[in-house]
Amino acid sequence: MTSLDALSRSTVPTEKLILKEAPTVTGIVHIGLGNFHRAHLAVYTSIAMQKSGGDWGICAYSLRNTKLVAAMNSQDNLYSIVEIGPDTDSIVIPGVHTRSLVGQDDIAELIAQIASSDTKIVSLTVTEAGYYISQRTHGLDLTHPDIAHDLTDQVPKTIYGILSQALELRITNGAGPITILSCDNISANGDKTASLLKEFVGLRAGSDELLNVISSSVTFPNSMVDRIVPSTEPRHKEMAEQRLGLTDSIPVPAEKFSMWALEDNFAAGRPSWEDAGAIFTTEVEKFEVMKLRLLNGAHSLLAYLGALRGCETIPAARFDELIVQALITVLYEEYLPSLEMPSGLTAESYIEELFSRWSNTALGDKTSRVGSDGSMKLPQRITVPALALIKAGKEPRLLALTVAAWLLCIAPFKEFVPGEHATAMKDPAKAKIIALTKDADDIHGYVQSFFNETGVFSSELSDSPIFVNLVEKYVKAIYSQGITEAIQGAMR
């Protein structure tokens, strides 16, 4: 079926719309409008409001994606979620967003909305890079120009500048308590957000009142979010049109699986997310660590080894027999010893489900997408388990191989050709690391310079001769013998 109609509440089939009536009050402001937010928190909120009501419409803000925001506004802030898998062909429209904002021009509106007494929650999906964490100090990266800019009280570029200005305006407005909810893959994301925001505010003059308000009237619940949501491709738009009978220019492809575990620590109320399947628990840290290492850490291995083996998608890597051997090894021998499973879950059942999710050929998640931003992701996933193995007298071989493969994917040494899927990976540290390859005479100098000069990994891991030498060993193996020999060598 073909139609030139764009989405609007008057054209959408009622059975496809989760929230039947458009929300009239904005109770949540979300910073980081993208595919993941639209397929995760927005869905939970829509279902919660549909079942239990409440004033929880979402005002969503994107730091830079003007095309997405323009499309959201042109489609009455509606979009579809195309669930893709062997056992589903469903499509739903959350219908929970009240408005969409973007960029520096809309900052004033964003801050005013956060400062409104109607707003009870600010949620975040800004990726690891959006927190500006120094792996050396574990605090703010004070060398980053965006942080320096925001400390001068100009139009803000970071979440810290936005939140501090908005919270100050809330004080003026008498708007009351609020919750800041991180939905990013960062260990203890709520605690970390609180610590980094307080550090930022403490660096500004006359910050005592705001620091007191943050401590007394703002809560930062920890949370774990989990759903594989690839980038939107033309085929997903075709799927959406076939299932809807309408044109959606911004559909979100997603797997059927979704999980959300979070602390019930909300200063001014929250939607009944448990009605949508959210898990409120005191074991969020266990859920976080489980996901960061078993899903995300293994995902990184699949992406980098897969790309170097010529695999375009995660399922292609997952069905590569040699990569599967490495995957099983890293999961059971290098990641599992460093974590404790949450109550009610076993490692075997969770890993079995992961293999099923990675096998979703219909979804076809790209290795280039999963492998992007490794400089922000890998420290969260690899550092603690690698150091734990070293302390136990063991070598973190597959963890080091993952780092080595990542380096040669984004910054190949000399004439090494990593292939098109690796070349498509993006990374904020890419230019800096590529410069090291040009200055180094050999791989030893390249790897040593990487650990000594980039600050990607913590001092503790960068100063570990065991880990650094392993990474160097596997960079040399991949460079001179190829990825097949390197994987085989790491498992001997």
- The alpha-helical segments, DSSP class H, found in 309-429 are 314-318, 321-329, 347-358, 367-371, 374-391, 397-410, 420-423
φ and ψ at residue 139, rounded to 5 degrees: -105, -155
Whether the CB-CB separation of 106 and 279 falls below 8 Å is answered with no
pLDDT per residue over 154-211, tens digit each?
Answer: 899 999 999 999 999 999 999 999 999 999 999 899 999 999 999 999 999 889 999 9
Q: Which CATH superfamily, name and number, covers 14-281? A: NAD(P)-binding Rossmann-like Domain (3.40.50.720)
Whether the CB-CB separation of 196 and 131 falls below 8 Å is answered with yes
Instruction: Spell out a b/e string for 392-424, using b for 16 or more CB atoms within 10 Å of the CB, else e.
Output: eeebbbbbbbbbbbbbbbbbbbeeeebbebbeb
Q: Percent of the chain at pLDDT above 70?
A: 99
Relative to beta strand 97-102, strand 91-92 is unpaired
Cα distances from 364 to residues 108, 374, 456, in angstroms, run: 39, 20, 29
What confidence category does residue 4 fall into, taking pLDDT thresholds of 50, 70 and 90?
low
Whether the CB-CB separation of 176 and 217 falls below 8 Å is answered with yes
Strands (E), 10-120: 26-31, 57-62, 81-83, 91-92, 97-102
- What is the rounded distance in angstroms from the CA atom of residue 53 to the CA atom of residue 37? 20
- The pLDDT score that the predictor gives to residue 1 is 40
Q: Domain 285-490 adopts which CATH fold? A: N-(1-d-carboxylethyl)-l-norvaline Dehydrogenase; domain 2 (1.10.1040)
pLDDT per residue over 228-273, tens digit each?
Answer: 999 999 999 999 999 999 999 999 999 999 999 999 999 999 999 9
Q: What is the DSSP letter of 261?
A: E
Q: Percent of the chain at pLDDT above 90?
A: 95
Whether the CB-CB separation of 61 and 110 falls below 8 Å is answered with yes
Which residue ranges does the chain devote to CATH 1.10.1040.10? Answer: 285-490
Cα distances from 303 to residues 310, 315, 392, in angstroms, run: 10, 10, 28
**C-alpha 367: how far from chain center:** 15
> Using CB atoms within 10 A of its CB, is residue 371 exposed (0-12), middle (13-18) or buried (19+)?
buried
> Using CB atoms within 10 A of its CB, is residue 314 exposed (0-12), middle (13-18) or buried (19+)?
buried
pLDDT per residue over 20-29, tens digit each?
Answer: 999 999 999 9
Instruction: Spell out a b/e string for 323-348, using b for 16 or more CB atoms within 10 Å of the CB, else e.
Output: beebbebbbeebbbebbebbeeeebe
Query: Is the per-residue pLDDT at 79 higher than 80?
Result: yes
pTM value is: 0.93
Which residue ranges does the chain devote to CATH 3.40.50.720? Answer: 14-281
Residue 319's CB is within 10 A of a number of other CB atoms, namely 15
Query: Residue 305 belongs to what H/E stretch?
Result: helix 298-308
